[in-house]
Amino acid sequence: MRKAGALVAETLRGVAERVAPGVSTLELDVFAEDFIRRRGGEPLFKGYRGFPNTLCVSVNEEVVHGIPGDRQVRAGDIVSVDVGVRMDGWCGDAAATFAVGEVSDEARRLMKVAEGSLELAIRMARPDLRLSVVCRAIQEYVESQGFSVVKQFTGHGIGREMHEEPQVPNFVAPRMDDPVLRPGMTLAIEPMVNAGGSDVQVRRNGWTVVTRDGSLSAHYEHTVALTERGAEVLTR
C-alpha cells in the first residue's frame, strides 16, 4: 500500500503542476492515466461501476465524482482532483483541491479549513480510539469555521479493494458503526466541505455531485494506516 500511495501522491503532484487557466479536465485525466500506467500502476476508478475516467475532477460547486471532459478551467476556479491507484493488488486513494490563479478569499479560506480538518483527523487517529472521536473532530472544526460537511458521502476503509469497511463519515451520525481503531487498519479519510449548506445532489450524468445551493466545495483525502505509533499517511 505504501507503493500504491506513493504513486498516488506523485500523480497528484503532476496534476497540480498542470492545473492552469485553459487546461481541460480531460487533459489532466489523460496525463494521469499515462503517468500511472507507465509506472506499473492501474487506475483504480476507471471502469468502477462504469466510471469512464482515471481522475474525478470537480470544479467550484462540484463536490466529488466530476467526469473529465472538454471543460477548461479558468482563473478564479477551485479544482478538486481525486485519484486512485491499484499496484501489486493493493490500493491507494487521495484527493486535493487546487486554486487556479487568484481565487476569492472565501475559496481560499474554504480550502484551508477543508485541508485543516483532514490534518486534524490524521493527528487524532490512533489505536484504541473510537472512530467517532475522529469524525466528531472533523465536523466540529469545520462547523466552527462557518462551513458545512457533506453527509451523503463518506470516507472508507481501503486495502485490496477501494471501498472496504468501515465507513468513515465526516460527522457523527446516530447509530453509526463506531469501531475501535486498531493497528493495521487502513482508512481513506476524506472531508468534503461546502461553503454553504451541506445538502448535495447528483447531476443527470449519474456521477457528478454538486452542492444544492450552488456554493463552493473543497475535497481533501489521504490514505492513512494505523500503526502502534499512530497514523502513517501513505499518500503524502
pLDDT tens digits for range 132-149 = 999 999 999 999 999 999
The answer to whether 28 and 72 have CB atoms below 8 angstroms apart is no
pLDDT band for 175, please (50, 70, 90 cuts).
confident
pLDDT at site 174: 83
Per-domain boundaries in the chain: 2-233
Residue type at 67?
A: I
Query: How many residues can be counted in the chain?
Result: 236
pLDDT category at 85 given cuts 50, 70, 90 is very high
What is the CB neighbour count within 10 angstroms for residue 49?
7
What is the mean pLDDT of the segment spanning 100-110?
98
Architecture of the domain spanning 2-233: Alpha-Beta Complex (3.90)
Give the pLDDT band (50/70/90) at residue 176: confident
Answer yes or no: are the C-beta atoms of 25 and 73 closer than 8 Å.
yes
89: alpha, beta or left, given left = phi > 0 and alpha = psi -120 to 50? left
Query: What pLDDT, on the 0 to 100 scale, is given for residue 202?
Result: 98
* 72, pLDDT greater than 90: yes
Q: Are 179 and 226 in contact (CB under 8 A)?
A: no
Q: Write out the H or E segment, with its range, that includes residue 43.
A: strand 42-43
User: Above pLDDT 70, what percent of the chain?
Assistant: 100
Cis peptide before 166 (omega within 30 of 0): yes
Please report which confidence band the pLDDT of residue 234 belongs to, taking 50, 70 and 90 as the band edges. very high
Scan for cell 487546487, then name that residue. Answer: 98
CA-to-CA dists, residue 200 to 39, 62, 163, 208, angstroms: 36, 9, 21, 10
Kindly tell me the burial class for residue 166, based on how many C-beta atoms sit within 10 Å of its own C-beta (0-12, 13-18, 19 or more): middle
Average pLDDT, whole number, for the chain?
Answer: 97
Radius of gyration of the chain (CA): 17
Q: What are phi and psi of 101, to 5 degrees?
A: 65, -145
